[in-house]
Structure 1
């Protein structure tokens, strides 16, 4: 990780741009979820759940500083609300719990591991933050045990896939040269720690 743990203006600008883009995409994914949700219920949310945490996984991987994953997710959630989400309260609560869960993985690893495995774990943790929130907020606690187990498995897979995609997105951006001054491109991804 970058030795300087303070966020710079460059970090804030990059995080803001990425979070705004994902916040707009999050709103689009709500419409997709609503369409499929009519047919398959909460399984639609479970399948798409990883997509709603990409701001924190992409920004966390690129910037590699404490607090970035959480703040990025909150910025994306706020953007989603500002561009038209009708569920402002639940969107902000979900953004909070998803970002907190992702940040918790980095805290447990003491902000020293930034490789693919870490970002995949962040994705999985973020979807579990989503699950726990949905369990109470959307009354998933009333669902049958087999359904809850299925939702957890699907959400963990969705989060893991999203973590992997986030690394690919950041590495693709890195090939353009736009991320040359960020830790992700300076070889400080913690690959020696977690591959």
Structure 2
């Protein structure tokens, strides 16, 4: 599926914006993590995957979620993330997770459940990266399960749900009229959930 220049430009712009957001969020994570601990601060996770549902929802093409997340993570790294190279590596894992949700539906559904699923699977892959990087011994069973559950919930809410709300607000202004999101059709229940035309 060919990408249009305007889609590539939008992906770059949104990825840069999300990357800067990720950097600021990473900075905020430090004092919050110090107060409530890394597990407690896990509720912040979802913001770090918001690029995927936002870009995928607007452009609705294979690879959009993955590319957006990796590009945003690269921007976070290059703008001075204290996480260093791991910011990019975890972005790759999260991008894969986010992309899987859309692939499961053959890139034909971009409604709220699918966007939230994208955030949830990105949360799972975030934990997979952590296990690969740190080993199972890094976690107790309780810590691992708790962190996984928090990541999934946060990914669903701050990634998928919030991402959809942001895009829907932008779409109402007419700024996205030239993109796939506006050439989609509403679901029969009247909700603002879009699916690609068959």
TM-score normalised by the chain length of structure 2? 0.89
Displacement, 1:176?
Answer: 1.1
Which ranges in structure 2 are unaligned for 5 or more consecutive residues?
186-193
The match for 2:96 is: 100
Q: Secondary structure at the match of 1:71?
A: helix
The match for 2:173 is: 176
Quick one: distance in 2 between partners of 1:106 and 1:185? Answer: 18
Quick one: distance in 2 between partners of 1:40 and 1:158? Answer: 16
Check if 1:133 corresponds to 2:123: no
Which ranges in structure 1 are unaligned for 5 or more consecutive residues?
none
Count of residues in correspondence between the two structures: 189
The match for 1:19 is: 15
Q: Secondary structure at the match of 1:76?
A: helix
Check if 1:190 corresponds to 2:195: yes
Check if 1:73 corresponds to 2:72: no
Displacement, 1:192?
Answer: 9.0
Quick one: distance in 2 between partners of 1:85 and 1:53? Answer: 15
Quick one: distance in 1 between partners of 2:2 and 2:39? Answer: 40
Check if 1:37 corresponds to 2:42: no
Indicate the larger mover: 65-74 or 130-139: 130-139
Runs of 4+ in structure 1 over 3 Å off: 138-141
Q: Is the 8 A contact 1:49 1:130 kept in 2?
A: no
Displacement, 1:65?
Answer: 0.2
Q: Is the 8 A contact 1:33 1:44 kept in 2?
A: no
Indicate the larger mover: 90-99 or 183-192: 183-192
Q: Is the 8 A contact 2:184 2:197 kept in 1?
A: no
